[in-house]
């Protein structure tokens, strides 16, 4: 999403002394800073993430497609970038907005400076932004669309930039999952993609799981494999017959970007068919939202999404509170849950629905990220719950 120059007609404006980057919001407001990564321009929904660690996982989480990430933690980049901590080969986020200048990396695993890593992926970023002011604005008025421009010459075509920022489409109605899904069915290779993560792999996996890839994070597939599953990954567009032809013991519905309702023409009816089979099903985030739609509930765009690694959630089954990793801007409407579907988890930040289960069936899902990459490990028990369901269902 970058072009070679930020200047395309209109009056070139020199930013404040030394400014080589700017964030231009759809309402025309401008935040100045210093350019990082690729030179050019990038647009998307401007969101904030409150995690203190894991910026590389966040930037490569496919669920961030279409979004520019403001990190509220001021020191981002000081452990550099490495080839192991990515959640997908290609970053899906559109860019990043940081507070402090990025220092030289200080970590034995660092292979690259964050600046070089961003540039190598054609990602535009900016530092020196007042991220606190921006976060308060997002919190008070919702996530705006915006453009981040990196212009080393310090010249900005504010007229053109404002017009392009105002014309950016919102995430509502956008089907982004197909764009980040795998092209072909393949087997998850735990040995290949587990370097440096300390996750185990079982020589003889006990279960076969088909994972429907709406933009799956690697650590979810890694977590399934380390819980004894052989995982076959199928594209988001896989049909009911495609999925069942693999004779799975269970089906996993992955996370992913965009508006869940926009998958209504393909994924939702497939999941409805999967629920009818009675096989164990586990959904995470977009997978949870698609399951809810398949069950007859509805989803909505949240005023303020959840993005961070410290979100408290109550598990109504055990009464326990777990600290969770989250990344979503849509939610499942509580009032729309049909009879026979139980809300199993609730956010203790804003009271929104965080999990559901189908009464009498081994079918459940959570809105948050139990694989926690990055984040706390409290919710790993959900992978064991899925395995328990598959154990009970095995003939």
CB 112 → ligand GLN: shortest distance, Å?
Answer: 26
DSSP conformation class of 295: T
Q: Smallest distance from the beta carbon of 256 to ligand GLN, in angstroms?
A: 5
Q: One of 57, 285, 311, 354 is an active-site residue; which one?
A: 285
Residue 99: count other Cβ atoms within 10 Å of its Cβ.
19
In this structure, the chain runs to a length of: 395
Which is closer to ligand GLN, CB of 56 or CB of 327? 327
Annotated binding residue 29:
no
Instruction: Considering the complex, state which of residue 181 and residue 255 has its C-beta at the smaller distance from ligand GLN.
Output: 255
Shortest distance, position 68 Cβ to ligand GLN, whole Å: 14
Which residue, judged by CB position, is nearest to ligand GLN in the bound state? 285
268 touches 294 (CB < 8 A): yes
Measure CA of the first residue to CA of the last residue in the chain; give whole Å: 50
329 annotated ligand-binding residue: yes
Nearer to ligand GLN by Cβ, of 63 and 194: the residue is: 63
**Would you say 184 is a known binding-site residue?**
no
Q: Are 88 and 256 in contact (CB under 8 A)?
A: no
Asked whether the bond before 178 is cis by omega within 30 degrees of 0, the reply is no
- Nearest-approach distance from CB 5 to ligand GLN, in angstroms: 32
Encoding tokens for residue 353?
A: 């629905």
Q: How far is the CB of 331 from ligand GLN (least distance, A)?
A: 7
Q: Say whether 285 is catalytic.
A: yes
What is the SS3 assignment for 139?
helix
Q: How far is residue 166's CA from residue 160's CA, in Å, rounded to a whole number? A: 10
Please check if 63 is assigned to a binding site: yes
Residue 371 appears among annotated catalytic residues = yes
Q: Which is nearer to ligand GLN, 70 or 327 (CB)?
A: 327
Tokens of 191: 């040995």
DSSP state for residue 63 in the 8-state scheme: G
Find the shortest distance in angstroms from Cβ 369 to ligand GLN.
7
Question: Is the CB of 77 or the CB of 256 nearer to ligand GLN?
Answer: 256
Give Cβ neighbours of residue 31 (< 8 Å, ≥ 6 apart): 22, 23, 25, 97, 129, 130, 133, 134
Closer residue to ligand GLN, CB minimum distance, 31 or 309: 309
Q: Which residues bind ligand GLN (CB under 6 A)?
A: 63, 255-258, 285-286, 327-330
Question: Is 208 a residue of the active site?
Answer: no
The residue from 57, 306, 371, 389 that is catalytic is 371
CA-CA distances (angstroms) from residue 307 to 18, 310, 318?
A: 31, 9, 25
* Rg from Cα positions in the chain: 21
Q: Which helix (H) or strand (E) holds 125?
A: strand 124-127
* Residue 258 near residue 171 (C-beta atoms within 8 A): yes
Residue set of the binding site for L-glutamine? 63, 256, 258, 286, 289, 327, 329-330
Catalytic residues: 285, 369, 371
Residue set of the binding site? 63, 256, 258, 286, 289, 327, 329-330
């Amino acid at each position: 999403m970058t072009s070679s120059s930020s200047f395309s007609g209109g009056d070139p404006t020199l930013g404040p002394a030394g400014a080589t980057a700017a964030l231009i919001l759809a309402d025309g407001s401008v935040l100045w800073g210093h350019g990082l990564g690729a030179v050019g321009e990038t647009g998307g929904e401007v969101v904030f993430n409150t995690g203190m660690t894991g910026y590389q996982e966040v930037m490569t989480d496919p669920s961030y497609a279409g979004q520019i990430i403001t990190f509220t933690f001021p020191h981002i980049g000081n452990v550099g970038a490495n080839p192991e901590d990515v959640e997908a080969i290609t970053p899906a986020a559109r860019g990043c907005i940081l507070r402090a200048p990025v220092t030289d990396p200080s970590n034995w695993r660092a292979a690259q400076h964050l600046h070089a890593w961003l540039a190598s992926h054609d990602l535009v970023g900016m530092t020196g932004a007042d991220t606190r002011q921006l976060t308060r604005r997002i919190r008070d008025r919702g996530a705006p669309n915006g453009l981040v421009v990196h212009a080393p010459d310090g010249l900005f075509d504010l007229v053109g930039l404002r017009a392009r920022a105002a014309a950016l489409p919102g995430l509502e109605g956008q089907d982004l999952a197909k764009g980040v899904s795998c092209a072909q069915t393949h087997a998850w290779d735990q040995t290949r993609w587990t370097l440096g993560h300390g996750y185990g792999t079982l020589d003889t996996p006990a279960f076969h799981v088909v994972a429907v890839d709406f933009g799956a994070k690697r650590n979810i597939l890694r977590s399934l494999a380390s819980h004894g599953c052989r995982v076959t990954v199928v594209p988001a567009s896989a049909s009911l017959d495609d999925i069942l032809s693999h004779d799975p013991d269970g089906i996993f519905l992955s996370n992913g970007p965009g508006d869940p309702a926009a998958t209504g023409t393909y994924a939702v009816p497939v999941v409805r068919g999967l629920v009818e089979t009675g096989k164990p099903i586990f959904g995470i985030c977009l997978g949870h939202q698609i399951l809810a739609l398949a069950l007859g509930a509805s989803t909505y765009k949240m005023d303020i999404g959840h993005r961070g690694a410290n979100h408290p959630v109550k598990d109504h089954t055990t009464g326990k509170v777990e600290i969770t990793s989250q990344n979503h801007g849509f939610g499942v409407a509580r009032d729309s849950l049909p009879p026979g579907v139980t809300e199993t988890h609730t956010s203790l930040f804003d009271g929104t629905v965080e999990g559901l289960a189908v009464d009498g069936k081994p079918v459940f899902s959570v809105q948050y990220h139990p694989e926690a990459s990055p984040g706390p490990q409290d919710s790993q028990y959900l992978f064991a719950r899925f395995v328990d369901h598959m154990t009970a269902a095995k003939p």
